[in-house]
Chains A and B, each alone.
Chain A
Amino acid sequence: MDQVPILKIGQTLFVSIQIDLQDESVMLLQEDLAAELAATAARGVIIDITAVEIVDSFIGRMLATIGSISRLFDAETVIVGMRPAVAITLTELGLSLNGVRTALNAEKGLALLNGRT
């Protein structure tokens, strides 16, 4: 089982998903993020999925759940770097990812969190 590292920069937590995650690792990430949010009072979470080739309904639900958990801690989540092929597939799958915002890259994601857009 692989543990995904969480970086804290300023008031924002950064997570970069680099590999093909197994279901248990996905659940672990969710738990780790909840713990970090509680411990650090971060205001935002950026999840970078630039390297993710497949997002199925399980991963999609995980991302939406992380969005909901963050809101409970008064933080906002932005998913960045979704690949075109993944976006098209998710749309066809019917997954709406409600409750999470999305941005093209980490830079724009950060701008979104800081209310500059």
Chain B
Amino acid sequence: MDELPIRSGDDVVRVRQHVRNAAASSGLSLVDQTKLVTAASELARNTLIHGGGGVARVEVVKSVNGRTGIKLHFADEGPGIPDVKLALTDGWTSGTGLGLGLSGSRRLVDEFELKSEPGAGTSVVVVKWSR
């Protein structure tokens, strides 16, 4: 597992590149790689802008039936999200949802777990599996 700091815009670019490399060498299709890196970009940016900075962890994982996947964990100690349900509002035609890019990112990955509490920071874990 690799841990990357998210403290600046350059760090967000670095996270994108790191996730792209990991995805490419894990057998994900080009479209799936693009989706994962895009989700990573959204979540990393959230961590920086709404979370006041934090960390990204990138891990290669294996499913019980032998598929390879990439697991990403974004964590910050920021103000947290007051209304998680609202933040995850769906509706792909509108593309908003408090501008947090969370609902969109969720559609780009296979597994999505969000934990956040006001004053206790935010943690997002996503997994994308190769087919």
Contacts and interface: CB of A to CB of B under 8 A. Distances in A.
A53 B23 CA distance: 13
Nearest to A95: B95
B7 to A, nearest CB: 13
Contact of A89 (B9, B17, B35, B94): B35
Contacts of A92: 35, 92, 104, 107-108
Residue picked from A57, A85, A96, most chain B C-beta under 10 Å:
A57
Contacts of A55: 38
A97 B31 CA distance: 20
B108 A93 contact: yes
A20 B95 contact: no
A35 B9 CA distance: 24
Contacts of B92: 92-94
A9 interface: no
Interface residues of B, number: 29
B10 A89 contact: no
Interface string A72-91: 00000000000111101100
A35 B26 CA distance: 44
A89 to B, nearest CB: 5
Highest count of chain B CB atoms <10 Å: which of A56, A83, A95: A56
Task: Tell me whether chain B's interface is mostly helix, strand or loop, or mixed.
Answer: helix
Given A22-B10, A24-B9, A94-B93, A56 B42 contact: yes
Interface string A92-108: 11111000000000000
Interface in B80-114: 91-95, 99, 101, 103-105, 107-108
Interface of A: 20, 22-24, 53-58, 83-86, 88-89, 92-96
20 contacts: A20-B17, A23-B9, A23-B45, A53-B20, A54-B37, A55-B38, A56-B41, A56-B45, A58-B41, A58-B45, A83-B34, A85-B31, A88-B31, A89-B108, A92-B35, A92-B108, A93-B105, A94-B104, A94-B107, A95-B104
Interface of B: 9-10, 12-13, 16-17, 20, 30-31, 33-35, 37-38, 41-42, 45, 91-95, 99, 101, 103-105, 107-108
Given A56-B101, A84-B31, 17 more contacts: A20-B16, A23-B9, A23-B12, A53-B20, A54-B37, A55-B38, A56-B42, A56-B45, A57-B99, A57-B101, A57-B104, A88-B31, A92-B35, A94-B94, A94-B95, A94-B104, A96-B93
